[in-house]
């Protein structure tokens, strides 16, 4: 009996469960539609959450001395705030806009561990991060990304403007040559001052700025041009003026002469007193020599000896004063010489002087232009990227969208089951299917596609890893691709630029990857994308296709050539200078300049191949110097040939007078240096025994010995220069007695031989450029691909 009841009860339960199951199967559409509906609603919520949680983010590295506050500059914030119309679009103030920038320093794990360890004992560790993560959300995510890009660009421009030197060498205004208040020598004095400033700037730069992709032979060329300007054009005019005593305004010159003479005499007297004071101090300088014998095995501790430094500085001051005194005396002698027999000169003489001045000014202004271009490039290289992107600007999200969606799916299924039972029991959703159809139609989103051209650009040159172009300037596709190639070369209209975009192609987790590597101690790590997507969405589809084809075909070579191509200079001194002596001087200066460059590049050669190539060029240069150049020089001197007898005599006369003045100065210098060498005190060694038994010796021992050797070298150079000037004076005197102009056959021969020497020297320069370009092209050709 009990068994029957039990069986019956189990049977009833199974019927109820089957009914429930049948209801669920019967209402499966209701469950499905409800689940889909709730899932869609949760998907909408998840998407909304994901959208509001998104932010534009990047990582930047800063130069030493910069910190978090350096990344939030009021001027830059205000500029970007205004240009992007943030107030009107987002209804936030400038201060609120500033607060939207979240800047977080990235601290390496090693530093974090040290901080934690020190904190346990109550100590602290100061650390200034060199990398920072910047997050920004203002308005839509697209707007945030654009604003952050604009801010990064504006921030670098701000520091570039702040740090770059704004100094530019000023051009000489050729208009003042017509101002009669200036005498001819006034122009030369102004040029002399400016020329010396230029020389100070480029001093030793031809030795240090040897990177061909950046500077090529630029500073060496400027050095050569300055040398030619100084030793040929300016010296010729000075010789002419000194020989003829021509001044623009004799009355003005004479009225100022007495005062200028008195000023120079007073300066000479002052310098003499100053030199005597230094001389007395040197003569009264006392010390005792000590011969030090260091026991075997005893350590020597290096110390300082101020007495050595004092004596050397004293001697330097004395020598500088004596040299200044010599220059002042030469200026006085020259002034007195010019003041005799002053004249204005004939119309032809005045024309020659003005033409010479115009040529000098033009040469100087050309040099200024070349220098300013190189200096601007150097400024841009040094200050182009104060703030560097360690990772590209990326859209990241910390939302809980996935969790919301997962909960939505579960809740949708649960509600679907409930809806199935409610429908089954109350039959209240007869039109449910129609409602679902309406909802489906409402949720349907049509996609309206349109045509546009997309191009991928890939860069693999070694500098791109540092965010640089091949010439070390900051990598900027907007500059070279948009402005230089599309606008300037292809001729794209500027109003179409808004329809072009360039976006880097990079992994989605690049910021996280960079942050991890910086945290692990890779302080200088940068991730710079090597691929970029260029999108053309122009008004005319034909233009899009045409521009795409031109980019694919021409841009790779354009990019490399834009940064690396350096056309060698072709010197044309034969036409530039009107007389043979000046042509020879200019060619000799070029030979010297090329020789210095060959030796420098041999010294810096990275391979034996390059070393021997430059060595061969050196042999070739010596051949030109000792055969071609020597032959034409000997031919001219042996036959006393000049291009213009009257002008040559004047120039030689002035040159001889300058040689006389310089010989007088050299004789004075020889007396000074000879006296110093006879009375120079050397050989001090100072030491003391420490408590440990070690011996402490002066680190400056030998300073005076070194200075003595340097003074000896200068003394020898002065003697050699004196001998050279005496020989030059004799040659000039011989030439003055028997000079003649060449006949047509001789002219043809001279011009031909000079031209051959010039062409051979130009060929050497071209070969040097080929050597440098070849090695760069080996690396860079093929480093840009477009597809």
Query: What integer pLDDT is reported at residue 146 of this predicted model?
Result: 92
Query: What integer pLDDT is reported at residue 427 of this predicted model?
Result: 52
Question: What is the per-residue pLDDT across 236-247, written as a single tens digit (0 to 9) for each?
Answer: 999 999 999 999
Question: What is the per-residue pLDDT across 363-421, written as a single tens digit (0 to 9) for each?
Answer: 999 999 999 999 888 888 888 788 999 999 988 876 554 555 555 555 655 566 566 55
Q: Which one, of 39, 47, 37, lies nearest residue 401 by Cα? A: 47
Measured CA distances, 5 to 8, 10, 11, 13, 15 (Å)? 5, 9, 10, 13, 16
Measured distance CA(385)–CA(414) in Å, rounded? 58
pLDDT confidence band for 4 (50 / 70 / 90): very low
Handedness of CA 177, 182, 187, 192 (dihedral sign): negative
Residue 437 has pLDDT above 50, yes or no: no
Higher pLDDT, 695 or 156: 156
Helix (H, G, I), strand (E, B) or coil at 470: coil
Residue 229 counted as domain residue: no
Query: 141-163 and 347-383 helices cross at what angle (nearest 10)?
Result: 130
Q: Which residues contact 245 (CB under 8 A, 6 or more apart)?
A: 338, 340, 341, 342, 343
Q: Do 410 and 550 belong together in one domain? A: no
Query: What integer pLDDT is reported at residue 629 of this predicted model?
Result: 96
Q: Do 64 and 81 belong together in one domain? A: yes
Residue 257 has pLDDT above 50, yes or no: yes
Q: Give me the torsion for CA of 49, 51, 55, 56, rounded to 10°.
A: 160
Residue 650 has pLDDT above 50, yes or no: yes
pLDDT confidence band for 445 (50 / 70 / 90): very low
Q: Do 407 and 462 belong together in one domain? A: no
pLDDT confidence band for 428 (50 / 70 / 90): very low
Question: What is the per-residue pLDDT across 349-361, written as a single tens digit (0 to 9) for each?
Answer: 999 999 999 999 9
Q: What is the CA radius of gyration of the chain?
A: 41
Beta bridge partners of 31: none
Residue-range definition of the domain harbouring residue 520: 450-561
Helix (H, G, I), strand (E, B) or coil at 583: helix
Q: Do 478 and 523 belong together in one domain? A: yes
* CB crowding 727-747: b at 16 or more within 10 Å, else e: eeeeebeebeeebeebeeeee
Q: Which of 500, 529, 561 is the C-terminal boundary of a domain?
A: 561
> What are the φ/ψ torsions at residue 322 (nearest 5 degrees)?
-65, -40
Q: Which one, of 373, 62, 362, lies nearest residue 228 by Cα? A: 362
Measured distance CA(98)–CA(80) in Å, rounded? 11
Handedness of CA 419, 422, 428, 430 (dihedral sign): positive
Query: What integer pLDDT is reported at residue 415 of this predicted model?
Result: 63
Q: Strands 131-136 and 531-536, how do they pair?
A: unpaired
Q: Which one, of 357, 377, 151, 156, lies nearest residue 248 by Cα? A: 357
Query: What integer pLDDT is reported at residue 406 of this predicted model?
Result: 56
Polymer length of the chain: 787
Measured distance CA(621)–CA(623) in Å, rounded? 5
* Tokens 């460059």, residue located: 597
Q: Do 34 and 114 belong together in one domain? A: yes
**Contact status, residue 378 vs residue 168, Cβ threshold 8 Å:** no
Q: Which residues contact 24 (CB under 8 A, 6 or more apart)?
A: 31, 417, 420
Q: Do 143 and 19 belong together in one domain? A: yes
Q: Which of 53-57, 94-98, 117-121 has the highest mean pLDDT?
A: 94-98
Question: What is the per-residue pLDDT across 502-555, written as a single tens digit (0 to 9) for each?
Answer: 999 998 888 899 989 999 888 889 999 999 999 998 888 888 899 999 999 999
DSSP string, 137-156: --SSHHHHHHHHHHHHHHHH
Q: Tokens standing for 279? A: 């001389």
Measured CA distances, 677 to 680, 704, 714 (Å)? 5, 12, 11
Residue 775 counted as domain residue: no
Q: Do 404 and 549 belong together in one domain? A: no
Stretch 88-96: mean pLDDT, rounded?
92
Q: Do 472 and 415 belong together in one domain? A: no
Stretch 21-47: mean pLDDT, rounded?
60
Q: Which one, of 98, 100, 108, lies nearest residue 128 by Cα? A: 108
- CB burial class (10 A; 0-12, 13-18, 19+) of residue 724? exposed
Query: What integer pLDDT is reported at residue 220 of this predicted model?
Result: 93
pLDDT confidence band for 39 (50 / 70 / 90): low
**Contact status, residue 432 vs residue 756, Cβ threshold 8 Å:** no
Q: Which of 546, 561, 576 is the C-terminal boundary of a domain?
A: 561
Query: What integer pLDDT is reported at residue 436 of this predicted model?
Result: 43
**Contact status, residue 642 vs residue 579, Cβ threshold 8 Å:** yes
Question: What is the per-residue pLDDT across 479-498, written as a single tens digit (0 to 9) for each?
Answer: 899 999 999 998 888 888 88
Mean pLDDT estimate for the chain: 83
Q: Do 460 and 505 belong together in one domain? A: yes
Handedness of CA 575, 576, 578, 582 (dihedral sign): negative
Question: Three-state SS across 397-454?
Answer: ECCCHHHHHHHHHHHHHHHHHHHHHHHHHHCCCCCHHHHHHHHHHHHCCCCCCCCCEE
Helix (H, G, I), strand (E, B) or coil at 633: helix
Measured distance CA(245)–CA(60) in Å, rounded? 67
Question: What's the DSSP call for residue 484?
Answer: I
Measured distance CA(581)–CA(647) in Å, rounded? 12
Integer distance in angstroms from the first to the last C-alpha of the chain?
88
* Tokens 């005792």, residue located: 288
Beta bridge partners of 687: 697
- The total of other beta-carbon atoms located within 10 Å of residue 190's CB is 13
Measured distance CA(776)–CA(772) in Å, rounded? 6
Query: What integer pLDDT is reported at residue 46 of this predicted model?
Result: 47
* Number of domains the chain contains: 2
Stretch 662-676: mean pLDDT, rounded?
90
Measured distance CA(199)–CA(223) in Å, rounded? 8
Q: Which one, of 544, 586, 635, 650, lies nearest residue 236 by Cα? A: 650
Q: Do 48 and 106 belong together in one domain? A: yes
Handedness of CA 239, 240, 244, 247 (dihedral sign): negative
Residue 99 counted as domain residue: yes
Question: What is the per-residue pLDDT across 681-726, written as a single tens digit (0 to 9) for each?
Answer: 765 555 555 555 555 555 555 677 888 888 899 999 999 999 999 9
- Find the angle CA(455)-CA(459)-CA(461) to the nearest 5 degrees: 165
Query: What integer pLDDT is reported at residue 235 of this predicted model?
Result: 94
Query: What integer pLDDT is reported at residue 424 of this predicted model?
Result: 58
Residue 484 counted as domain residue: yes
Measured CA distances, 428 to 424, 425, 439 (Å)? 9, 9, 18
Residue 566 has pLDDT above 90, yes or no: no
**Contact status, residue 104 vs residue 519, Cβ threshold 8 Å:** no
**Contact status, residue 98 vs residue 551, Cβ threshold 8 Å:** no
Helix (H, G, I), strand (E, B) or coil at 647: helix
Residue 136 counted as domain residue: yes
Q: Do 22 and 157 belong together in one domain? A: yes
CA 150 to chain centroid: 23
Q: Which of 525, 546, 561 is the C-terminal boundary of a domain?
A: 561
Q: Strands 695-698 and 300-303, how do they pair?
A: parallel
Comparing 434-438, 497-501, 710-714, which segment has the lowest mean pLDDT?
434-438
Residue 406 counted as domain residue: yes
Question: Three-state SS across 169-234?
Answer: CCCCCHHHHHCCCCCHHHHHHHHHHHHHHHHHHHCCHHHHCCCCCCCCCHHHHHHHHHHHHHHHHH
Residue 13 counted as domain residue: yes
Higher pLDDT, 446 or 381: 381
Residue 155 counted as domain residue: yes
Measured distance CA(340)–CA(342) in Å, rounded? 6
Q: Strands 131-136 and 54-62, how do they pair?
A: antiparallel
Residue 301 has pLDDT above 60, yes or no: no
Q: Do 432 and 454 belong together in one domain? A: no
CA 428 to chain centroid: 79
> What are the φ/ψ torsions at residue 312 (nearest 5 degrees)?
-65, -45
Q: Over pLDDT 70: what percentage of the chain?
A: 81
């Amino acid at each position: 009996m009990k068994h029957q009841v039990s069986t019956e009860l189990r049977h009833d339960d199974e019927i109820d469960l089957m009914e429930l199951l049948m209801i669920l199967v019967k209402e499966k559409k209701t469950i499905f539609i409800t689940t889909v509906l709730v899932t869609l609603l949760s998907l909408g919520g998840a998407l909304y959450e994901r959208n509001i949680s998104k932010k534009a983010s990047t990582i930047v590295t800063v130069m030493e001395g910069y910190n978090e506050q350096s990344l939030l500059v009021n001027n830059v914030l205000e500029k970007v705030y205004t240009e992007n119309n943030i107030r009107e679009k987002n209804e936030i103030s400038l201060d609120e806009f500033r607060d939207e920038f979240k800047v977080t320093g990235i601290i390496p794990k090693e530093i974090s561990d040290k901080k934690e360890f020190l904190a346990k004992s109550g100590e602290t560790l100061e650390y200034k991060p060199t990398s920072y993560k910047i997050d920004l959300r203002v308005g839509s995510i697209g707007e945030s990304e654009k604003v952050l890009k604009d801010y990064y660009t504006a921030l670098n421009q701000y520091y570039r403007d702040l740090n770059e030197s704004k100094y530019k060498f000023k051009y000489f205004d050729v208009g003042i040559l017509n101002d009669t208040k200036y005498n001819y020598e006034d122009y030369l004095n102004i040029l002399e001052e400016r020329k010396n400033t230029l020389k100070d700037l480029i001093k030793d730069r031809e030795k240090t700025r040897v990177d061909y992709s950046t500077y090529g032979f630029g500073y060496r060329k400027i050095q050569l041009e300055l040398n030619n300007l100084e030793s040929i054009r300016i010296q010729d005019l000075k010789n002419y003026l000194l020989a003829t005593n021509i001044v623009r305004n004799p009355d003005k010159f004479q009225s100022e002469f007495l005062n200028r003479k008195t000023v120079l005499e007073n300066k000479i007297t002052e310098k003499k007193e100053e030199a005597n004071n230094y001389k007395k101090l040197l003569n009264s300088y006392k010390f005792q020599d000590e011969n030090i014998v260091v026991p075997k095995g005893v350590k020597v501790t290096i110390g300082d000896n101020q007495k050595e430094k004092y004596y050397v500085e004293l001697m330097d001051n004395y020598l500088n004063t004596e040299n200044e005194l010599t220059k002042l005396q030469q200026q006085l002698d020259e002034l007195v010489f010019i003041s005799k027999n002053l004249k204005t000169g004939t119309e032809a003489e005045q024309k020659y002087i003005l033409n010479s001045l115009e040529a000098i000014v033009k040469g100087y202004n050309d040099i200024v232009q070349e220098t300013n271009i190189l200096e601007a490039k150097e400024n841009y290289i040094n200050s182009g990227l104060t703030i560097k992107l360690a990772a590209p600007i990326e859209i990241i999200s910390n939302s809980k969208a996935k969790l919301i969606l997962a909960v939505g799916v579960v809740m949708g299924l649960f509600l679907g089951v409930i809806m199935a039972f409610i429908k089954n029991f109350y039959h209240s959703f007869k039109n449910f299917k129609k409602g679902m159809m309406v909802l489906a139609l409402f949720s349907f989103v049509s996609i309206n596609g349109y045509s546009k051209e997309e191009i991928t650009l890939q860069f693999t040159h070694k500098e791109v890893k540092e965010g640089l172009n091949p010439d070390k300037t900051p990598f900027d596709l907007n500059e070279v691709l948009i402005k230089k190639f599309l606008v300037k070369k292809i001729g794209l209209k500027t109003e179409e630029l808004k329809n072009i975009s360039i976006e880097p192609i990079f992994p989605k987790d690049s910021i996280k990857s960079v942050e991890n590597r910086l945290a692990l101690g890779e302080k200088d790590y940068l991730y710079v994308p090597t691929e970029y997507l260029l999108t053309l969405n122009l008004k005319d589809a034909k233009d899009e296709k045409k521009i795409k084809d031109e980019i694919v075909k021409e841009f790779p070579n354009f990019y490399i050539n834009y940064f690396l191509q350096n056309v060698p200079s072709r010197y044309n001194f034969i036409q530039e200078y009107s007389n043979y002596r000046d042509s020879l001087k200019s060619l000799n200066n070029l030979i010297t300049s090329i020789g210095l460059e060959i030796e420098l590049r041999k010294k810096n050669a990275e391979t034996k191949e390059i070393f021997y190539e430059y060595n061969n060029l050196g042999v070739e240069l010596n051949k030109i110097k000792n055969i071609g150049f020597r032959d034409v020089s000997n031919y001219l001197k042996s036959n006393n040939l000049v291009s213009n007898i009257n002008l040559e005599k004047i120039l030689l006369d002035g040159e001889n007078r300058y040689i006389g003045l310089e010989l007088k100065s050299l004789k004075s210098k020889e007396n000074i240096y000879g006296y110093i060498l006879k009375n120079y005190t050397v050989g001090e060694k100072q030491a003391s025994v420490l408590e440990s038994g070690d011996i402490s010796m002066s680190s400056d021992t030998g300073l005076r010995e070194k200075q003595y050797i340097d003074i000896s070298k200068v003394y020898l150079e002065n003697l050699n220069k004196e001998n050279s000037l005496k020989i030059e004076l004799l040659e000039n005197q011989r030439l003055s007695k028997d000079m003649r102009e060449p006949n047509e056959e001789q002219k043809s021969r001279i011009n031909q031989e000079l031209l051959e020497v010039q062409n051979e020297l130009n060929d050497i320069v071209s070969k040097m450029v080929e050597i440098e370009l070849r090695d760069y092209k080996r690396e860079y050709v093929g480093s840009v691909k477009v597809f």
